[in-house]
Structures are given as C-alpha cells and as structure tokens.
Structure 1
Amino acid sequence: MGPPSQPGSEARSVSDPAFMNVDVAIAGAGLGGLALALGLKERGITAHVFEAAPAPRTDGGTVIGFFPNGQTALNGVSPGLTDRIKARGNRCPSLTSIRLCDGVLEEELKRDNQSGIAMVPWKDFQEILASSIPPEQIHCNHRLQKFTPVEGGVEAVFDIIGDSDARENYSASSNAYGGAAIGQLTVRTKLLVGADGIRSNVRKAMGGKPPQYLGDLHWNLLVHDPDETMVPIKDESHMRFADEKAGIVGFLSDAGHKWRFLSVRKADPDGKIVAGYGPEFGGLGKPGVKERAIGALPGSDNWYDVVRETLRNVAESDIFERRIMDNVALDTWVAADGHVVLIGDAAHAMHPIVGQGAMQTFEDAHQLAELLKKEAGPDFSTDGVATAVHRFEKVKKRRAELVQAFSREASSLPKEVTVPAEYQDLSGPEKLQRFSQLNTWMQRYPDVLGGDPDSVYWKPLES
C-alpha cells in the first residue's frame, strides 16, 4: 500500500497510481466534510478528507447565522465546539427589520434576539474545524473522478492536481477546481461520503442533475472595520432590509471583533440581469463587481444610500457575487448498497434566506457520526456501515428536503412552481405561522427529527 499523499507532496504518475485503504473517505473539506471527520475522530473512527483545492478554503467572504439547531449539532459532533465557534462571532442582542418600498422606508421594527442566534464569519468555522483534524488526514489537490462498488465498500479514484494548476483553474463562481491531473490516487474504503458541495462529483456520479438557478443574484462582503468607518452598522447589531417592489433583500451585521457584513440579494426571475453581465460575473473581487452591486440598488437619495456608501467604502476585492442556486432533490442520497452517501450541499443545497443550509449540514455530520458509531461497532463492520447509512437517510432526508423546498419559496422563481398547491392561498398570518412553526421544529433538534407533532404544517408522516 502506498503512503498517504500529503498536501504539496510529489504525486506518482498515472501509470503507477498510489493506493490507500481507509475506513471512511470524505470528498470535500468544507463545513460538512470537516465536521463529519471531527465527529468520527471523537468516536474513535478515522476518516480521511480529500479536497480538490490546494488547502481548505477560508476566503468565503460571508457569515453564518448560527442557529440553535446547528449549535446543538456541533456540540454533539464535539463537546465544547459550539462555544469555541461562538467566541469568534457575535450574539446580536437585537434584530432590526426594515421594510422598504422602492427605497422609501415604510416600517422599522426592533426586537430582542431571544433565539440565541449568533453571527459568525464562515472562515472561522472552517479554520476551527480544519485545525481539529490531524493534518495527515486532510489530502488536498485531490479531486474525485469516479467510484466503483467492490465487495465491502467502494474504490474511489481521485485525480491529483498540482498546486499551481489548481489555483490557476479555480472558478469561484462555480466553486470548482479544474486543471489537468498529474497523477491519481485509488482509495479503497468502506464508506465514501460526498461532502463536496453543490457541484458534487460524488452526486454527479450518482446521476444527479446540475444545480438550478433560483432567479436571485447575491452580493456580499465581510470586512474588518476597526475604526467603524466602512460599514454603518452599530456594534452588536443585525439588520434585515426587504423591498418587495424593488426585488431586494439584504442584511447588515456586526459579525464580532470589528468584522462587518453586508449582503444584498436582487431578484432576477428571467435571468436577463445576469445574462447582461456576461462572463465577468461570479466570484470574489471580479472586475466591475462594485459597479454591478451598486447598480442593482434602485433610485438615488433614498434609504439605499447607506448600502451604496458601504459598497463604495470597501475594496472591490472584498465583494463576492454569485447566482443563488440549489439542487433538485434526488430519489436517494445513498449508492453502492450503503457504502456511498451524500451530506450537506451535495445532498440538499438550498436558498440561504431561511438560514438553514449550514445548520442542516451540521445536523448531517452529527447524525451520521452517531449512527456509524452505534451500528458499525468497534470493528467498523461493513454491514454496520450500510445499516448506519440507510438509517441516516431515513432520519435526515425528509427533514432537510422540506427545509430546502421551503427555502426555495423565497426565491424569485414562480410561486406556482415553488409553493405547494395546498399553501398557495394562505393568508399573511397563516404564512407567518407556517414559517414560525418551521423554526420551532428546527430548534427542537435532535428531537422530533421526522416532523413536529405539535405543528399544523410540519407534522411527521403517519407510520
């Protein structure tokens, strides 16, 4: 058996491929892959993580609303992990909602943050999780090419990409690393986990369709503002602004430790806006990104001046833009008789408006780690692995896909396409009740995973 490949190590030639034999191989060193690897480590199970990038990324330029279900899940992954992460962010004591009409202020409501939500930079989640995994178990510059079922597991083939080639061929808009392979690594494993994001190669190998555009464009930035001159938001504040007429939703937040966050979403239901931008659109610091973001805001001399001022104050290199996309639900997250499984965005990428994308990923990592420990036993039996994987899909798939579908309702796609027929004629108060009951169900994690029996809209399936 060849030695484990290390980030930056010289790869063997394609004609003489390296080989590894591991219990768990995780494709993708994002939030889900790293959280699962840590959860397995805590339970005495060694997992190796294979990442296409030259290093685990920490340049996301965004924050995560750290909701209670995600906090509970990460504490289940590793005791004390939630407190370590929250210390990097800010638990905003107040939440302000701004309602606009074409840039004119119509209503401003301020309430206490009683839910315990914390705003934490995405990069801090990544850094803490990556630093918790032994470096010899993270293999960068490895892009999954294919997997083949074998007795007791699968063989996964990873292309090895040179450091410089991976960097030069990275597409921020698609979060994908291209470049020619300079070698290959074959990994035999009892379990291959696809945690490789919305454009997952594992998902693709399982027959998954490409992501779908949800008709929304998104600009965000995260900047360090020690003098409080760039982003006009008060310390420990979190503000949401929405303008139905202009098709704008956004956030201004204190992300803690003088980090400030701005997010702007613009409706583009027919795709004409993004088509007009051409190939320059998408990624971090792309030429013209500041002009595009400012141009998405309607009018002048109105409430949006505060957002325009923020965008003018920051460097173009700090602004990240993207199309908001999700994945069409698969019939199953499982392949190879229970020896391949998807988690996180690879399984259920969703619109960010409900704030549950990362939270569902953390739940995935917690539940899968727990079930593998319980079912596979100390010898990590292949039959136990398959049992754990099928049980994981049973407890998580419906829950995550209901959240995914509800999140899609906030997109700019037609409501007759995104909203279930039985809910299309709900009154305003009924819509609010449905959303509130979803939040209640989420925050009861890990209880009632299959549905909240006390709710009207999110009851479990009848057995």
Structure 2
Amino acid sequence: MTSQSFTVTIAGGGLGGLTTALSLRRRGLRTTVLESAPQLGEVGAGIQTAPNASRILLGLGLRHHLAAIRTEPLDQVRRRWQDGSIIAQLPLGDRVKQEYGAPYWHYHRADLHRVLLDACLDPDGAGPVVQVFTNARVVDIDGSDAERPVAVTADGRRFDADVLIGADGIRSAVRDAMGLPDTLVFSGEMAFRALIPGDKIAADPATRFLLDRYHSTIWYGPDRHLVHYMIRGGEFLNVVAIVPNTLDVRDDDPSTWTAPASADELVESFPGWDDRVASMLSKAEGDASSWAMYRRHRDPVWVDGHVALLGDAAHAMLPYQAQGASQAMEDAAVLAEELGAVTRSGIAGALVRYVSRRATHAGMVQDASLENMRFYHLPDGPEQEARDAQLRTFSGESDVSYDWLWRGTPLNNPDLESFSYPFVR
C-alpha cells in the first residue's frame, strides 16, 4: 500500500458514505464524513445484500458483526399474483456461498448502518479512525483551489480536503455544486414500505407459512409487484410493494416524495390478488410509508478535478434489481483501491480510473432496473407467459444475468478476489 498523506471528505453518512469512509481508512487515508441529519441512523426498513455487496463488507473485516445481525434466506421464491402459485424457486443459502464466495443476506438497514458506523468510530476499542460530523449539510463547494476543494455546510462551516466525495443521495447538493445536469426522472410509480411484526405473521394461519423457511419472495402481477423477506431472525417481515403512484409529487419539492401510509391503503392497492397478500398487508398498521420512485438517466460524468460522486448521487436506480446500496458499496471498494494506490499528485488520475471502472457497470444495472419495471408488471397474456418461462431458468431477469451481477466489479485486491466462505453459519 502506498504511504498516504492526503485527506478525503465524504458528504453523506448513509450506507454508501460509511462504506466509503471505512474502505478509504483501511487504505490509510484520513477521512471525514459530513452528515446532514442531527444524528446518524437509517430508516426502519430491510435491505438485501447479494454476494457482490457481501463480499465487500466481509472484506472490510466485518464478518462476525454481520453474522450477528443477518437473516439468511434459503430460497428465492417467485409467485403469481392471482393465486400465489409458485412460478419458480431457487436455492440461495449454501449454493450462493459456494458459487460466489460470499452470502446472500438480509438485514435491518439500521443494524447494518450501526455495524459500519461502529467500525468507523471505534474499531477494537482503538479510538476513532474516521471523523464524523452531524448537522453538517453540505450546500456548496468552494473550488477556488482545484486541488483542495472545500465543502461548505448550511451553517457556514468549511471542510477542506484533497478529495471531496458526494455520497449525499438522490438529491445531491455536491452534484448540483459541480454544475452537472439534473438527470432525475420520475418513474410514475411509488413503493409502499412496511415492517410487519413477525408475531403477527405467526399468529395468522393465512401467513404462518412465511415462517416455515426464510425466503426472498417476489409476487408478479399486472402494473405492480410485491417483495417480502424476514429480517432480525423473524422479528419483522420487511415488505416493499410497488404500485402506480398516487402521491401529489412535485419534482422540485422532495417533501412531496414520501408520506405515511395505512394498512388499508396497502390492501386496497392489490385488488383481486391472492387472499394471503391482503392478510399479510393488513398487519402493517402504524409502520408503513409510501415513496415516489425516482431514477437518474445514465450519465458517465461523475468527476470534476478532485470532486467525485458515488452511489445515488451518480447513478440512482429503481429498486427492481435490489442493487441500489450494493452498487454504492462497489463504488466504495473501487474508489478506495484507486485512491489507496496513489500519492497526492495522482488523485485526479485515480478518480478518472474509478469512474472508468464503475460507470459502465453501474449504468448497466440502472438500465436493467428500469427494464424490470416493465418486465415485472406485464399484464397476463403471451408476453407474461414467456417472462414466467424465463424466470424459471434463474439466468437473470431483463438485461443482465445474476452471475454477472453477483460477481460484481472485478477488484484488484487479491484478498478480496480470492475470498472464500469457510466460516460462520
């Protein structure tokens, strides 16, 4: 590893930002995270990490911490909307570990975020390795010194560094300050998100089957689909239900992009579906919300001098590949490899190489996620029947294969490339 003498500021303390901070710090760079919220945390929701993301997290030395909070689905199950009949079922579990060298795990987002934050702040009791500031919303960049960009926060604080990374989400202020075009597009759809207590699921004969064996399940139907899986070892059923949008969305006002939702709204959004769907969604009382689904046009411009974008700020995608956070983690790993291999004079070139390694890959996932919006929501008929036949092969869904997706962006680090999974079960 090259001896480091330069600093990196990261705008955004979400999963992508913290994975970046930890990856850079493990390469010896001095790293600061600026988070706009008054305290660091994540929303109450689940997250899936396929092998391409798990491999990165495990490579950061987090294996035992992750094993303590994960729930492992043993199968991926695909169901038909009207009667719940199984279109296809694929083993995950040990098969994925053997084929890809890393697991397919589910988490509560807040639990995964806490593991990353703890690793940044106090690894092994050794004291902070990453400086983290809350109530630090980046609103501008002072680029008067092109090689020493300054992140300016809403309250006037200034944080200078040799590199500034915008990991500040779908409405990225860093992106805006770079003067890049607004590439956000509204999909016309929204997602209901809910955490349903597992004891409610277990108490109802109509839904108890969900606890027999942990699955990652997708129901396909005309104009909408439904995803659910257990987290925290069955404490909650995480539900994501995609339907046509009914929110009064204004593109220039992110406060209109989300709203509380009721169990009745979820049930009413799936008329005519298998009765078990209504039984499941009716239990979402008090802990549901609706979210307008935005994406970015594919755009390979992520860098300006010593400023670079990462995650949703660069390539926000629809959730139809369950890869948004995973692609941000791939960004983090590649960025750390490139910056960790240079001295201060090589920063600009390292950032260009980061984008050259990641933009096409992430763009393909963006495109596949967009295509899946149509692919998942086909009306019943010949095209739907052909889709279901394709789903049974588990070769992939729209334009990318699982094999390509789950192997992820090739990394130069031999420790990660040769990573195997002979451990915690």
Q: TM-score, normalised by structure 2?
A: 0.79
Using the alignment, how far apart are the partners of 1:126 and 1:361 within structure 2?
A: 14
Residue equivalent to 1:229: 203
Are 1:156 and 2:129 matched, yes or no?
Answer: no
Displacement, 1:414?
13
Q: Could you say what secondary structure the match of 2:211 adopts? A: coil
Residue equivalent to 1:240: 217
Query: Is contact 1:158-1:185 (8 Å) kept?
Result: yes
**Amino acid of the structure 2 residue aligned with 1:229:** A
Query: Is contact 2:263-2:283 (8 Å) kept?
Result: no
Q: Could you say what secondary structure the match of 2:69 adopts? A: coil
Residues 391/219 of structure 1: CA separation in 2 closer, same or farther (3 Å cut): same
Residue equivalent to 1:357: 324
Residues 47/223 of structure 1: CA separation in 2 closer, same or farther (3 Å cut): farther
Query: Is contact 1:282-1:320 (8 Å) kept?
Result: no
* 1:128 maps to which of 103, 115, 133: 115
Query: Is contact 1:22-1:188 (8 Å) kept?
Result: no
Residue equivalent to 2:172: 200
Q: Where in structure 1 do 4 or more consecutive aligned residues deviate above 4 Å?
A: 279-282, 412-415, 427-434
Task: Say which structure, 1 or 2, has more relative contact order (CA 8 Å, 6+ apart).
Answer: 2
Residues 26/439 of structure 1: CA separation in 2 closer, same or farther (3 Å cut): same
* 2:404 maps to which of 441, 451, 463: 441
Residue equivalent to 1:111: 90
Displacement, 1:412?
5.0
**Mapping 1:16-415, distance limit 5 Å:** 23-58=7-42, 60-76=43-59, 78-79=60-61, 81-100=62-81, 103-113=82-92, 114-115=95-96, 116-134=103-121, 137-149=131-143, 150-159=145-154, 183-206=155-178, 207-209=180-182, 211-226=184-199, 228-229=202-203, 232=208, 233-245=210-222, 247-268=223-244, 273-275=246-248, 282-283=257-258, 286=260, 288-299=261-272, 303=274, 305-316=275-286, 318-335=287-304, 337=305, 339-376=306-343, 381=344, 383-412=345-374
Tell me the percent identity: 25
Query: Is contact 2:78-2:87 (8 Å) kept?
Result: yes
Displacement, 1:22?
7.7
Using the alignment, how far apart are the partners of 2:14 and 2:249 within structure 1?
A: 32
**5+ unaligned residues in a row in structure 2: which ranges?**
97-102, 122-127, 378-382, 413-425
Query: Is contact 2:195-2:284 (8 Å) kept?
Result: no
Q: Could you say what secondary structure the match of 2:266 adopts? A: helix
**Amino acid of the structure 2 residue aligned with 1:222:** L
Report Cα offsets for 1:309-368 as digits up to 9, x if no partner: 33332332x112101211123341001x2x100011111111111121111111111111
Displacement, 1:117?
1.5
Report Cα offsets for 1:178-232 as digits up to 9, x if no partner: xxxxx31012211110000111111122223162111222112124435733764
Using the alignment, how far apart are the partners of 2:47 and 2:65 within structure 1?
A: 15
- Bigger drift between 231-240 and 392-401 goes to 231-240
**Amino acid of the structure 1 residue aligned with 2:83:** V
Residues 119/194 of structure 1: CA separation in 2 closer, same or farther (3 Å cut): same
Using the alignment, how far apart are the partners of 1:131 and 1:260 within structure 2?
A: 23
Question: CA RMSD of the aligned region, Å?
Answer: 3.1
Displacement, 1:264?
4.0
**Mapping 1:421-460, distance limit 5 Å:** 428=387, 433=395, 435=397, 438-447=401-410
Residues 239/372 of structure 1: CA separation in 2 closer, same or farther (3 Å cut): closer
Using the alignment, how far apart are the partners of 2:117 and 2:136 within structure 1?
A: 16
Q: How many residues align?
A: 373
Query: Is contact 1:220-1:264 (8 Å) kept?
Result: yes
Using the alignment, how far apart are the partners of 1:42 and 1:276 within structure 2?
A: 41
Query: Is contact 1:215-1:267 (8 Å) kept?
Result: no
Q: Could you say what secondary structure the match of 1:133 adopts? A: helix
Displacement, 1:33?
0.7
Q: Could you say what secondary structure the match of 1:213 adopts? A: strand
Q: Could you say what secondary structure the match of 1:119 adopts? A: strand
**5+ unaligned residues in a row in structure 1: which ranges?**
1-20, 160-182, 416-423, 450-463
Using the alignment, how far apart are the partners of 1:239 and 1:32 within structure 2?
A: 23
Q: TM-score, normalised by structure 1?
A: 0.73
**Amino acid of the structure 1 residue aligned with 2:57:** L
Displacement, 1:235?
4.8
Q: Could you say what secondary structure the match of 1:187 adopts? A: strand
Residues 400/82 of structure 1: CA separation in 2 closer, same or farther (3 Å cut): farther
Query: Is contact 1:350-1:404 (8 Å) kept?
Result: yes
Query: Is contact 2:266-2:282 (8 Å) kept?
Result: no
Residues 398/446 of structure 1: CA separation in 2 closer, same or farther (3 Å cut): closer
Using the alignment, how far apart are the partners of 2:220 and 2:408 within structure 1?
A: 32
